Structure 1
């Protein structure tokens, strides 16, 4: 049996080249779609993990504060929640994952404030400013520093921060 020499016919050559290029292009499209989907899943997982850790810390602090309040008869307002917001992520080129990690690091740094009285925190707000502004937070070999632009002290401590890179100090 003789196999016809298709490699000499231009129509067959174009078909084989077209199939090969189509396979390569479709492979890259598949890899791109998989990567973007995987990035969204990682971000969602990181966000849910962050929420879980925050709620766990908040619950532990509130249980400890509740025990202290049971011992005391007067009900003074306490800090129940810490909210951190970075207002310039585009300026320092922060992606969403690094923003979540930075917010978690800052919350870990000031976690001791949950369950404290609001008036004692408002009296020592300068200490809170210095705690955040003088500490560098390192992620992926890049150190970030923050300036507090807005601080709201009530039952929820709301902090708005402006990020700076370490080489811009």
Structure 2
């Protein structure tokens, strides 16, 4: 048995040459289209990576800003200082040092509200008023009682007080 001699028939030679040329051309087309698609995919992936890193940086910046804002809000929602003012000190002819002594004494009485949150101080504002009003203050051998005329509760607790002679 032997292989028939196809090399002598030009029809078969053209057929096999056409198959080979078609295979080479189709392989080149495949490589070209695959290469262009891959190049597009690589460019798209690179752009997405850059966008992801940019977005992650933005997220980090927003987190830092949010953390700072939360810290600021925590500080703002706490009472940080207490101010006491005598409204009618001139009426009783109190000297400046005596007036400051009374104000400092009242500040010492209510100084425990510093660093407490505003809401809890607001809930106990009546107790705070009673604490100030129930105490008798002695100035130059005279006794005075205090009456809270205004109480402002914010990050700074502001108290305005009128004094009168104790009976």
| Paired position in structure 1 for 2:42 | none
| Paired position in structure 1 for 2:154 | 154
Question: Deviations for 1:26-50, whole angstroms, at most 9, x for unmatched residues?
Answer: xxxxxxxxxxxxxxxxxxxxxxxxx
| Paired position in structure 2 for 1:89 | 89
Residues 149, 160 of structure 1: 8 Å contact kept: yes
| Paired position in structure 1 for 2:115 | 115
Aligned-residue CA RMSD (Å) = 1.7
| Paired position in structure 2 for 1:36 | none
| Paired position in structure 2 for 1:75 | 74
- Match runs of 1:35-54 below 5 Å: none
Deviation, 1:90, is 1.7
| Paired position in structure 2 for 1:47 | none
Gaps in structure 2 of 5+ consecutive residues: 1-70
| Paired position in structure 2 for 1:142 | 142
Matched, 1:131 2:128: no
Question: Deviations for 1:90-148, whole angstroms, at most 9, x for unmatched residues?
Answer: 22221111001000100011111111111000011000110001111123322221111
Query: Within 1, Cα distance between the matches of 2:94 and 2:166?
Result: 14
Equivalent residue of 2:74, what SS?
A: coil
Q: TM-score, normalised by structure 1?
A: 0.53
User: What is the aligned length?
Assistant: 95
Residues 92, 165 of structure 1: 8 Å contact kept: no
Gaps in structure 1 of 5+ consecutive residues: 1-72
Query: Within 2, Cα distance between the matches of 1:112 and 1:141?
Result: 28
Query: Within 1, Cα distance between the matches of 2:130 and 2:119?
Result: 18
Q: TM-score, normalised by structure 2?
A: 0.54
| Paired position in structure 1 for 2:28 | none
Query: Within 2, Cα distance between the matches of 1:101 and 1:139?
Result: 9
| Paired position in structure 2 for 1:164 | 164
Query: Within 2, Cα distance between the matches of 1:139 and 1:88?
Result: 14
Equivalent residue of 1:159, what SS?
A: strand
